[in-house]
Amino acid sequence: MIFDRNETKDVIALLGAGSMGTAIVRRIAAGKKILLGDISEKNLEQVKHDLQYSGYDVEPCIVNALDKGSVEAFAEKAASLGSVKYFIDTAGASPSQASPEHILKLDMVGTGYAVDAFGKVMAAGGAGLIISSQTGYMHRLPDEVELEILHIPTDELMNVAYIKETATQSGIAYMIAKRVNHLQAQKAAATTWKERRARINTISPGIIVTPLAYDEFKAAGDLYQVMIDSSAAMRTASSDEIAEAGAFLLGEHASFITGTDLLIDGGVIASIRTGVYKLH
């Protein structure tokens, strides 16, 4: 049976086939082509199956987000399928899962590769979204370091002296990488993506319950519970809540929003800044 006879479809590229990214895609993908990228073939097939059996047109693609060539090929594949109107990047590793070096290479440099690559193929009026983290607000970078990051190529990020000297623990590396994500969106919004007449933003989720999040909950002991209890919302959130905000930022009603970050953390950062909760 042919479910959709429309041959020309806008393309949505999702890098990282996790629950948060797929939740966003489900809100915007009706009548569109989904290019699903992930390093795990098993994960790709499972998500492809779930999306197809929900009525979506989806094509899987093995992508190594650590490899510049692989990411560029993913972007080129998206462009070959049609007009690339949406790009969502959720690829990353959490502090309990990886070394500081791996986190920086994947969450920081790998994200930069993706932003750069899709900055060459986005269609006019298109929009991109990087999933960052509330931790991007937990470790302030000196102003001069931020300016340095904003003015160097992605390939040079690992050589920034401040990052090399400071990101020696996985938690700190993660915080720095996520702050750099904000800067990467700002830079792209003002330069390469602007030239394509496309927008790009970041979302910084707080404590979101996903399958991978359980690794963090187990590794951190009571830390997350105290953080939850100290926040204004006094609860965690679901991927679907993040997806609602993501769909807004990618949609037409957000056409004047680019180069910015939306913090969705239930008030965790507010509790830190006011001293209600203290990081350890």
Amino acid sitting at position 154: T
Measured in residues, the chain has a length of: 280
Catalytic residue among 32, 33, 105, 178: 178
Q: Is 162 a catalytic residue?
A: no
Helices (H), 196-261: 213-220, 223-230, 239-250
Q: What is the largest CA-CA distance in the chain?
A: 60
171 φ/ψ sector (left φ>0, alpha ψ -120 to 50, else beta):
alpha
Among 56, 24, 14, 47, residue whose Cα is nearest residue 208: 24
Q: Is 90 helix (H, G, I), strand (E, B) or coil?
A: coil
**Is there a contact between 143 and 216 (Cβ–Cβ < 8 Å)?**
no
Give me the residues paired with residue 58 across strands.
Answer: 34
Q: Is 33 a catalytic residue?
A: no
Among 145, 182, 175, 184, residue whose Cα is nearest residue 162: 145
Cα–Cα distance for residue pair 70/88, rounded to 1 Å:
16
The encoded tokens of residue 201 equal 């933003």
Amino acid sitting at position 266: G
Among 11, 171, 177, residue whose Cα is nearest residue 104: 177
Catalytic residue among 105, 174, 187, 277: 174
| Residues annotated as part of the active site | 174, 178
